[in-house]
Chain A
Amino acid sequence: MKLNLSRRSFLIAGGVIGGGLMLGIGGVAGYVASHDRLGMQRAEHQGPGHIVALWLRIDVDGGVTLLAPHTEMGQGSQTGLRQLAAEELDVAWDQIRVEQAPADYAYATGAIVEGFLFGELDGWAKTFGSGLANRIADGMNMQMTGGSTAVRYTGWMSVRTAAAAARQMLIGAAAASLGVPRAELTTTDGLVRHEASGRTLSYGELAADAAAQPVPDKPPLKDPSEWRYVGRGMGRFDLPDKVFGTAEYGIDTKVDGMRYAAVRQSGPFGAEVASVTNEAEILARRGVEAVVTVDNGVAVVADNPWRAEQAVRALTFTVTATEGDAVDQATLWQRMDEALDGSLSSLHSEGDVSPVEERADVEATYRVPFLAHAPMEPMNCTVWEQGGQLHVSAGVQNPLSTRAFLAETSGRPFEQVALHTRTMGGGFGRRAIGGDGTARYLAQGVQVHQAIDKPVQLLWSREQDTRAGAFRPADTAKLRARLGSDGKPIAWDGASYANLNEVDQAVPAYRIPGVRVRGAQADPFLPFAFWRSVDASSQCFFVESFIDECAVQAGANPLDYRLSLVDPADRRAGVLQLVREMSEFRTGVDGRGRAMGVALNHCFGSYCAIVAEVSLDGDRPRVHHLWIAADCGVVVNPDSVEAQLQGGALYGLSAALYGKVEVKDGAAVQSNFHDYPVVRFRDQPALHVQTIQSAESPGGVGELGTPPVAPAVCNALAVLGERVRVLPVVG
């Protein structure tokens, strides 16, 4: 585990270890168990105000700042975190603001690690779990906005508890100051009040003393019946800037003396630029200052972004050979087919699958292509030297890891790297920096800066952004099932090629006596990035298309078929019932030539069922409606949830209908919105969103609407006579 602690953090941690030893908790266990994240945040804090509890600073004027370790890419989770904090701290809405937390270990998101690794733990185990989770988060440079975790883990498990703890500490400080018992005190809108005497003390007056109070381990949380923010569509504080055009994305960064760099990829992935053959001519162009070879490409530096881009397009160069430079899409499909016929790893096995080995009643092979993310803001970073530090401005989903990457790639110590995290013009997983593919534009920015020793903004063209980045893997899946005499599957055998992060996505969510899932767990060639909903984006298409083919073979209503295969008390049954009501689900083709298809998914702690109503205009599909039924537990902000489900579904629709990046000569072919089309107004289905009222802990929402769309649309097309097993549907 890499532990690059800042000097201050090391001292705190050292003190904690020492303290732990004094208390008789020795060794690594003690270090882990007594990890003091709050101590780290307090030690790091410079300037006015007091860090009273994790993430929460209270200033002398009573203003509260939530230092949010999650970044904004349109999902609005910073507002969700604000709601949870305001609720438990008991402040007025405009008394609390949100600031981006520093990209420091003190602000790593341990709750996410805890959520993923430990689930629900009790007592000492939970304390140990939190400490270990925080340690692991440090080691992984974990400050990730992704995996649909900001509200459901950091917010629900950490911010809410911290705010409740802070309120108790403020009450404790007031009790001491007023000389009255705690039980006689109440809080309201940033004031602690003693009813009997009418005396009040503001949070601002109490902050310093509150920060010295012991931190309660299990502070009482507000009863949901008393919520005034949670469950309401509180407005996003960042929206006005986005409406008025004053929000600062990475691309809007301005530094005095800044130059601009445009990049052209070498061509095939893995190839480097060997020599530039017309450098003198390019340097002679107006405003052009330098030509710099970078990772997997070459950059031109100029005094204007357009001049740089025109110049880099006019460059001629040779490239090194690379083992992938003859690879094309057909090669890749063939590799996948060969692998799937060969020996595979067992990923999941239950019951007896021998019936399907004797006879497969339903058999199908599915393919999905590579997908680019195509956020509206192309990749960019701005790099400059100032005050003995290397400064980088960029919109990223994981500032702490990004800062660590920048340190590594520049050769500067972590302390000397200052990352300015910007709001993102779309993330979708592309801006979660990890691995060469996703980080390449940052490495290039550092390389150009090192070469020219001047502030520089490196901006990828849309063509670079589509082609030169990192992708949702292409994949092939082969599925077979044996059906019983009642038409229900009794054995299911599935295998797919691409590496799976979440094997569960490949396992059918249905009661099937024998299930085997295997995989090649292989790398499909293009660099990898998390793409909205990750494995679910491919596996849901495979699984939900195939269960539908089983239903068709059985002559059954596909929605009823699915319901018959889940426990009625299961949350899956809940969303299937709801979507059935919403859509008035019917089989067959109606008088207008329309048919319906359904699909179900469980990802990131939530459940979603989607029905698509589709017709064919010649051979062109038209999606008229998407009914989206979601169970995401407690809905913290219904406005955000609706927006995310709508947006996630449309993101999935673009992929289902049009999304495809192909490989030729080791490079990606598609480049811009003319050949990598996406859904526009004219493609809009009517969107209907409903969530199930629930008291369960919040599940993720940002990615939930995406996976079921492709299978729902294809299941509808099958009713219209065209079973689509290879995406995208069009072209």
Chain B
Amino acid sequence: MVELTINGRSERVDVEPTMPLLWVLRAELGLTGTKFGCGIAQCGACTVHLDGVAVRSCSLPVSAAAGKSVTTIEGLGTAEEPHPIQQAWIDAQVPQCGYCQPGMQMAAVALLATNPDPTDEDIDRGITNICRCGCYARIRQAVHATHLEG
């Protein structure tokens, strides 16, 4: 039994400790906002926050999340209460197919938490997620336009 805190909620899941957090989220807890893209931490579609730090959940065994606070895209914000980055994403019309964007936003928020005013080079080095639709220019624009509260 693994005890987790996901978006502020306690969850207990009866799975192997080696099951990647991604598949616990998607298939055991029904949180499908976090996406599967590659399974080898190459693409970042599965990015979530573990105690505020961006991690690729496809390659993180669920046991490593035990006792820590996990934030997924569902916990970042909603249509009623969007996170500033989500408003910036909508204002800049960032997504094309949208599949990589939950992970992309999670990676961007983690970057902004440590670097509130990143340069383009900071973004290039700090966000290595893949977007096959090629939204990189608008992502950069939206990151520059985002000011985290507090």
Contacts and interface: CB of A to CB of B under 8 A. Distances in A.
The reply to whether chain A is a binding partner of chain B is yes
A678 B134 CA distance: 10
Nearest to A376: B99
A679 B134 CA distance: 8
B136 A673 contact: no
Most buried by A among B30, B33, B45, B95: B95
A244 B73 contact: yes
B43 A243 contact: no
A647 B133 contact: yes
Given A260-B27, A461-B39, A243 B94 contact: yes
B95 A376 contact: no
Interface in A630-686: 639, 643, 646-651, 672-674, 678-682, 684
Contacts of A243: 82, 86, 89-90, 94-95, 98, 101, 105
Given A243-B95, A678-B132, A673 B38 contact: yes
25 contacts: A239-B93, A240-B90, A243-B89, A243-B95, A243-B101, A244-B77, A245-B72, A248-B32, A254-B30, A304-B15, A304-B19, A304-B27, A376-B99, A376-B132, A377-B99, A378-B36, A424-B97, A425-B97, A643-B96, A650-B136, A672-B38, A672-B40, A680-B136, A684-B137, A687-B137
B108 to A, nearest CB: 11
Interface in A22-51: none
Given A245-B73, A377-B35, A425-B97, A240 B136 contact: no
A235 B93 CA distance: 7
A494 interface: no
- What is the predominant secondary structure among interface residues of chain A facing chain B? loop
Interface string A672-715: 11100011111010010000000000000000000000000000
Given A680-B128, A684-B137, A247 B93 contact: no
Given A254-B30, A306-B20, A376-B97, A245 B39 contact: no
B97 A684 contact: no
B93 A376 contact: no
Contacts of A673: 38, 40, 42-43, 130
Given A235-B93, A305-B23, A680 B134 contact: no
Nearest to B43: A673
A398 interface: no
Which of A244, A254, A428, A639 has the most chain B CB atoms closer than 10 A to its own CB? Answer: A244
A682 B125 CA distance: 7
B135 interface: yes
A646 B134 contact: yes
Interface string B30-52: 10111111111011010000000
Contact of A239 (B27, B98, B99, B134): B98
Nearest to B58: A306
Contacts of A139: none
B19 A74 contact: no
A425 B139 CA distance: 17
B124 A682 contact: yes
The 5 closest A-B pairs by CB, nearest first: A242-B98, A245-B33, A425-B99, A74-B97, A650-B134
Contacts of B128: 680-682
A72 B95 CA distance: 12
A75 interface: yes
B97 A423 contact: yes
B100 interface: yes
Contacts of B98: 74, 238-239, 241-243, 247, 423, 425
B73 A374 contact: no
A310 to B, nearest CB: 9
Contacts of B95: 74, 239, 242-243
B12 interface: no
A334 interface: no
B135 A681 contact: no
B58 to A, nearest CB: 9
B35 A425 contact: yes
Interface of A: 72-76, 233, 235-236, 238-249, 251-252, 254, 260, 286, 304-307, 309, 374-378, 423-428, 459, 461-462, 639, 643, 646-651, 672-674, 678-682, 684, 687
Interface in B55-101: 72-74, 77-79, 82, 86, 89-90, 93-101
B145 to A, nearest CB: 14
Interface residues of B, number: 60
Nearest to A73: B97
Interface string B125-150: 10111111111111110000000000
B11 interface: no
Given A235-B93, A459-B36, 10 more contacts: A236-B93, A304-B19, A305-B23, A375-B97, A376-B132, A462-B39, A643-B93, A647-B133, A648-B134, A681-B128
B34 to A, nearest CB: 7
B93 A426 contact: no
Contacts of A648: 134
A74 B96 contact: yes
A423 B32 CA distance: 14
B23 A376 contact: no
B38 A462 contact: yes
Contact of B86 (A244, A254, A374): A244
Contacts of A72: 97
Contacts of B132: 374-376, 426, 428, 651, 678
A651 B89 CA distance: 21
Contact of A649 (B22, B30, B127, B134): B134
A643 B33 contact: no
Interface in B88-122: 89-90, 93-102, 105
A660 to B, nearest CB: 16
Nearest to A682: B124
A52 B51 CA distance: 55
Nearest to A374: B132
Contacts of A244: 33, 73, 77-79, 82, 86
Nearest to B36: A251
B136 A681 contact: yes
Nearest to B138: A643
Given A376-B45, A378-B36, A306 B23 contact: yes
A252 B32 contact: yes
B127 A681 contact: yes
A76 B130 contact: no
A239 B32 contact: no
Nearest to A258: B27
A665 to B, nearest CB: 23
A362 B140 CA distance: 44
Nearest to A647: B134
A426 B97 contact: yes
A655 to B, nearest CB: 11
A650 B138 CA distance: 13
Contacts of B140: 681
Nearest to B74: A245
A188 B86 CA distance: 34
Given A245-B73, A247-B98, A252-B32, A286 B42 contact: no
